[in-house]
Chain A
């Protein structure tokens, strides 16, 4: 008589396949790294994540200190920020460097009620000492090395608009993808002249001079801000935006060279 073999209760008798030890270690390592980089979930802390265009980063920091909130600021190019938010990045507030980019965010449905919070005007700058003797958006630019932003970028569009108003045909030697690059060309002396923003003139410090262009005040670049749709921190976000548009915010903007709407 054969004795039936019954598996003991609660115990598997299936053979376990032996996993290669190195593979197990590799997977364990990957899991640990992933766990360490994940933020712990703390729903009750008044935490705010603000995505802001790079040019407004300093202002955003000052405003955050004023509010006393725990704010994480992420500064980058506006289109990058919008792409990140569209991909699901955890932002509560979005501030872009031009209206066109904010419009894209609106189309994607990721923001609510954009409102203008700052303005900027284009500025013609030359290296300290004005080596090429630029007198304005005029014939003095003819043989000069002029650097502006590419038209796809807000400051480039602004430069072209300004040139139209002044009735001048710009012949740049370089159309940079970022206003910071234009600024760098001028401050290093590589370029004879550049078109940046008012706020950048301050950043350039003693390395550059401003050349007045009367039509500049007619070209306005608006910086809109909006709540990100679906944010958990409505109150904090609104508080932050109020601070930005309030007195302290306007002071910070003015200090940085921005205008207010």
Chain B
């Protein structure tokens, strides 16, 4: 009797030790690079931190400064612009394109490879490509505009248009990626739903709106949240496409762009840390709201 009990707890102990051992590499790595970093970032936000020298404690000064900082609000406003329009366009276009790609036509694979290419291309290349294409004098976009009778636009240097230029590139590259996700979702829909609807006399448009979309809502929710979190952190394209010393910079600056400038150009790292924390809180609030709203429009398959 005793032997059995002893054997059981020894095995349980061995299992526990093994468990800790197996998660150890991950935990150590996380502790060093993530957990410690997380708390140190909070610590920095209450200090004045330069490129060199020791941090100086200044309490809530950084946070108070954020509230009075016009650049912060500009960055916030721009970022919300990108997010609201970006997510909307990305979801709408990716659903439409995925739906078209889902049709049984010949050469499907070829079309897919073409449409997915931006998704696997590095933003650095995309950024410099579009910077060239949106060039005021020599860019092909303005050439096409002129050909169809419109005026050329100084996309990347004029205050009114620069946000739309960034949005264009952003949507263009993200749609390519989310088409993959939406298409996978569509292919997971049970064909019997379509059969049943067709028997009831549904045409292609009704099939799309009454069958495809409702059954796709979980994937749409996931894509909405993921794309939203991604766009709220937009940095690459703005960094690559907009010159810092033009007026357009101010009108296109995102929160992370501002963060980067504070931390690594101006070396105001304590302030930057505070900005990053505020950004983090904003992202979390928006995400929680989205997750809460999901019960109003997402259908889950039983």
Whether chain B is bound by chain A comes out as no
Interface positions of B (Cβ within 8 A of A)? none
